[in-house]
Structure 1
Amino acid sequence: PDMVFAANGGLVVEGRALGARFAYAERQPEGPAYVAWLAAAGLKDTVEAVHVNEGEGDFLVVGGVILAGTGFRTDPGAHAEVQELFGLPVISLTLVDPRYYHLDTALAVLDDSNVAYYLGASSEGSREVLRRMFPDAVLASAEDAAVLGLNAVSDGRNVVLASAAVELTQALHDRGYTPISIDLSELLKAGGGAKCCTLEIRA
């Protein structure tokens, strides 16, 4: 029922793909469907997951590092699985606010070296990790986080995000990005935004 949220279908890095294994019964049939699609799309090195993971909902690639969320959906064991499969460092971040059930609802990758995020979504230790890794990060307000303004898609310059995230839009502009604001209020009713609908194929 939720396949419009394509980001949750898997993780693709350098032509290798890990399919999702969903936490809830309602979405579990999506996992094999995504694996089949990824393989049919030419990603021959497509692997079915052992541990519960919800794809790019909880795995975000920043340069040569993968930020990995846990706390509500993705099993911590999936973090080790991803690191072993892709050979990239995986940084575990613990989500503590159920409104931000996936990492991509509380953190947006802006380019290969920077992110935007909401402090209140993660544990104190995870916030400190983010502070150290991204000292120049764009910090979102509670209001902009609540409308899933951080569930955004960036090509490194242009950032597609919810028009309701007014302060975040201005902050991105001030940092030299080009915000592209879209009315995503209907998707917000289902707990999603632009990123939830986008699975990046890093072939």
Structure 2
Amino acid sequence: MSAQEIPAVAPTAERIQQHRRYLMCRPDHFTVSYSINPWMEPTRPTDTNKALRQWQTLFDTYLALGHEVELIDPIDGLPDMVYTANGGFVIDGRAYGAKFRFPERVPEGPAFMDWFRANGYEVVEPVEVNEGEGDFLLVGDTILAGTGFRSTGDSHREVGDVFGRDVVSLTLTDPRFYHLDTAIAVLDPVQGPGGVERANIAYLPAAFDEPSQGILRERYPDAIQVSDADGAVFGLNSASDGRNVIISPRATGFEAQLRERGYHPVLVDLSELLLGGGGIKCCTLELRGGSR
């Protein structure tokens, strides 16, 4: 579905759309020249122009839905910078910077922190290895934090100290789902009408160890549990404004589950960027609060 084909959004009693502000980065330099996750195969050709077209559709979709999108300039030699979600974690105008595990991505951390400073955010430089909103998801007043492949467990303590919020640690066990945002989608807004918190999520149980699965079952008994087939096409690497959920068109089972719950799936194909191990959420960093 192109941005022009998105139907008008009518408010419903069930699901309330909330305004979002995002940070994105054009994939001008996108390629796969190294491998730091199972999706990346440097011998497999990539098409930068196709990646740009698909990214533009996602950008246009956000604007068509009434959201704001800020841009950070891409840097030659940093092909993964398009995955802005990994560049930090922002709540109430404070930005906790990223400290990447792999040397290929390390220079992205300072680049994102420079952008945050230049745009009026209070920046907290990290001590511990973390990959931003890739492994930190805000659900209500709680931060779900992933570990196992990228962000360290010590970063969970650090992010809790930075924002003064409860942190729930979850351990990822499948290398295909190396960031938390590949295995969990936050569906409802942080706050609903009248200040009532809502905390609906969707997740892939098989991506987590048994204790983490137990935590998710207990905390989110009404969560959507997606199939392995939908998880494997990065169906959960999605963005939601509380009503509209931007997902991969290949996650057909998840699409049906969302419709059953009263959400409005909007299909955007980022198949080329998946060659680098990223999808819709990876390309989308939420800016909560700030100077504008």
TM-score between the two structures when normalised by the length of structure 1: 0.98
Could you report, residue by residue, the CA deviation over 1:169-200 in whole angstroms, capped at 9, with x for unpaired residues? 01001000000011121121111110000000
Superposition deviation, residue 157 in structure 1? 0.8
What SS class does the counterpart of residue 101 from structure 2 fall into? coil
1:135 is matched with which residue: 221, 226, 230?
A: 221
In the alignment, structure 1 residue 109 sits paired with structure 2 residue 186 = yes
Q: Secondary structure at the match of 1:3?
A: helix
The one-letter code sitting in structure 2 at the alignment partner of 1:58 is D
Moved beyond 2 Å, runs of 4+: none
Q: Give the SS at the match of 1:80.
A: helix
User: Higher RCO, 1 or 2 (CA under 8 Å, sep at least 6)?
Assistant: 2
Q: Does 1:77 align with 2:149?
A: no
What RMSD over aligned residues (CA atoms) do the two structures have, in Å? Answer: 0.6
Q: Measure how far apart 1:58 and its partner are.
A: 0.2
Amino acid in structure 1 at the alignment position of 2:214: E
Of 231, 241, 244, which aligns to 1:158? 244
Question: Contact between 1:119 and 1:127, CA under 8 Å: does it hold in 2?
Answer: yes
Question: For 2:138, what is the secondary structure of its paired residue?
Answer: strand
Determine if the alignment matches structure 1 residue 50 to structure 2 residue 127: yes
Q: 1:96 aligned to 2:173?
A: yes
CA contact (8 A) 2:246 2:268 kept: yes
Q: Secondary structure at the match of 1:196?
A: coil
Report the secondary structure of 2:267's partner residue.
strand
Task: Please list every run of 5 or more consecutive structure 2 residues that lacks an aligned counterpart in the other structure.
Answer: 1-78, 191-198
Aligned residue in 1 for 2:102: 24
Q: Give % identity.
A: 57
8 Å contact from structure 2 (residues 201, 220) kept in 1: yes
**What are structure 1's unaligned runs of at least 5 residues?**
none
In structure 2, distance between residues paired with 1:139 and 1:152: 14
Give the match for residue 205 of structure 2.
119
Shift of 1:17: 0.8
Secondary structure at 1:129 match in 2? helix
Query: Equivalents in 1 of 2:109, 2:184: separation in Å?
Result: 24
Paired residue for 1:186?
272
Query: Does structure 1 retain, via aligned residues, the 8 Å contact 2:80–2:276?
Result: no
Count matched residues.
Answer: 202
Structure richer in strand, relative to its length? 1
For residues 90-121 of structure 1, the C-alpha deviation after alignment (integer angstroms, 9 at most, x for no partner) is 00000001010000001100013110000000
